[in-house]
Amino acid sequence: MTSYFPWLTIIVVFPIFAASSIFFLPHKGNKVFRWYTICICLMELLLTTYVFCYHFQLDDQLIQLEEDFKCINIFDFHWRLGIDGLSIGPILLTGFITTLATLAAWPVTRNSRLFYLLMLVMYSGQIGLFSSRDLLLFFIMWELELIPVYLLLSMWGGKKRLYSATKFILYTAGGSVFLLIGVLGMGLYGSNESTLDFERLANQSYPMALEIILYFGFLIAYAVKSPIIPLHTWLPDTHGEAHYSTCMLLAGILLKMGAYGLIRINMELLPHAHSIFSPWLVIVGTMQIIYAASTSFGQRNLKKRIACSSVSHMGFLIIGIGSITDTGLNGAILQILSHGFIGAALFFLSGTSCDRIRLVYLDEMGGISLPMPKIFTMFSSFSMASLALPGMSGFVAELVVFFGIITSPKYLLMPKILITFVMAIGMILTPIYLLSMSRQMFYGYKLFNVPNSFFVDSGPRELFVSICIFLPVIGIGIYPDYVFSLSVDKIEGILSNYFHR
């Protein structure tokens, strides 16, 4: 059953269209832009949900809601969209987090018109990326994402914002070069006719050397985005400087684009190279868990510490992708969603509390739990979620990744034991830095020397944002089956390539 109504095109184009019309709004202060943006985001989210509810079959592992318009004749470039079980989760996550991020960005008053414009452009770019079925379209969406982030960073960031923004753009643009090489190499390989369609590319086979080169090119691009060590250093700087709503988008969605690409392109299109590289991915992921956790101790800056913790959590994702099992891959997808929620919430809460006490260094803080009990409660809950407390989504994701790695038939006994052991050491390190962070921020008592130091606890808007993120975290933690049911058939389809070899 194909619906000929171009739902996906509308979903992708609507935010950017609405964003461009933000200039026609009367200039009557920030309130207009705020409400306009939040309404657009909500409408988009509702539209997405509606489409997914009524025009999407969960039990079908094929691409649905497919659209195909030929844009450039000579180059075989199509506007080709479509979603499947793999992309539905990230798209919903994008809608959810972006809506909350626009809600969180209400205190932004400086040039708010441009700010919201950029947020909406990002929204389009992200949904377009997750729903594109064409390699070049994928690349274009990938690039479309960078410019708003760069501008958001360089205009609304902290003190060192220009440095961070430049670093960010150089890193990611450097990665994009490899992505472009990969895209073109893959598209132009076919001797008779060049193709950029995912479905046709999936059936194409390459010579081993070329496949490895292509894989490597894609991997570098995703390793920058994801991030995978040693290409992660842009992340703490960027997160340390960006405004917290930007951070929410960065941590919640942008980092997931790398992981999504890794599954979508590297696993689906280049299965042979992936099965060669997957042990290395697992090793790198294991190292990353420990390495990023240890760097996190050394960070004095609160936001940088959380950023390092999210690098550490990405390690589980990489391991899940590297263990070519059903379970591990499901865990990786769950980790995408779970970390999207938790990371965004942590950045939001740390950003709001930093703005209130006007300090960013952990050793200067202390004792703010008394004036701000609500932030304290929410922050503790999310630190618990982040350190994989059972009953919350992080635990399920990590547990499933653990099961994935031990049931993986690809690895031998000793490497498995070693990898599991090191991953579990990460489980000890995570609470140390997260809890000492919350101890340094909230526990203890401190007489603030600032005269008239009067801190307001989080208001209803902030409470709403954090509770909104908290509910899915708990929901996934208690009943993860629903999220699994979205992607399980698709993953089976992807993995069947590996066993037919």
Shortest distance, position 210 Cβ to another protein, whole Å:
28
Whichever of 197 and 492 has its CB closer to another protein, that residue is: 492
* Of the candidates 287, 339, 288, 326, the residue with the CA atom closest to the CA atom of residue 404: 326
Q: Does residue number 442 form part of the binding site for another protein (CB under 8 A)?
A: yes
CA nearest neighbour of 113 among 66, 151, 158: 151
Provide the CB-side half-sphere exposure for 368 (13 A, CA): 32
The distance of closest approach from Cβ of residue 378 to another protein in the complex, given in angstroms and rounded to an integer, is 8
Among 217, 240, 271, 480, binds another protein (CB under 8 A): 480
Residues from 352 through 371 that contact another protein (CB under 8 A): 367, 369-370
8 A C-beta contact, residue 364 and residue 301: no
* One residue of 428, 449, 451, 499 binding another protein per CB under 8 A: 428
E-strand ranges in 354-447 read: none
Asked if 492 is part of the footprint of another protein (rule: CB under 8 A), the reply reads yes
Closest approach of another protein to the CB of residue 350, in Å = 18
Give the nearer residue to another protein in terms of CB position, either 201 or 494. 494
Question: Which tokens go with 452?
Answer: 């008239």
Q: How many residues bind another protein (CB under 8 A)?
A: 61
Which one among 407, 450, 461, 496 touches another protein, defined by CB under 8 A?
A: 407
Interface of this chain with another protein, residues 130 to 169, rule: CB under 8 A: 166-167
Kindly write down the DSSP assignment for every residue of 216-269, as one continuous string: HHHHHHHHHHTT-TTS-THHHHHHHHS-HHHHHHIIIIIHHHHHHHIIIIIIHH
Q: Find out whether 331 and 320 touch, Cβ atoms under 8 Å.
A: yes
Instruction: Tell me which stretch binds another protein (CB under 8 A): 15-23, 71-79, 154-162, 437-445.
Output: 437-445
Residues with Cβ within 8 Å of 312's Cβ and at least 6 positions away in sequence, in order, are 288, 289, 291, 292, 293, 296, 426, 430
463 scored as a contact of another protein (CB under 8 A): yes
Residue showing tokens 């306009």: 36
Radius of gyration of the chain (CA): 22
Interface pick for another protein out of 9, 194, 275, 420 (rule CB under 8 A)? 420
Q: Which of 33, 168, 171, 379 touches another protein by CB under 8 A?
A: 171
51 vs 242, which CB is nearer to another protein? 242
Among candidate residues 214, 217, 221, the one with its CA nearest the CA of residue 171: 221
Cα 326-327-333 angle, rounded to 5 deg: 90
482 vs 82: CA distance, rounded Å: 21
Q: How many Cα atoms within 13 Å fall on the side-chain side of residue 240?
A: 25
Which residues inside 229-258 make contact with another protein, applying CB under 8 A?
A: 229-230, 233-234
Would you give the binding string for another protein spanning residues 18-47, x where CB under 8 A is met?
Answer: ------------------------------
Interface residues toward another protein, by CB under 8 A? 166-167, 170-171, 229-230, 233-234, 291, 294-299, 326-327, 330, 367, 369-370, 374, 377, 380, 384, 389-391, 395-396, 399-400, 402-403, 406-407, 413, 420-421, 424-425, 427-428, 431-432, 435-436, 439, 442-445, 447, 463, 467, 479-481, 484, 488, 492
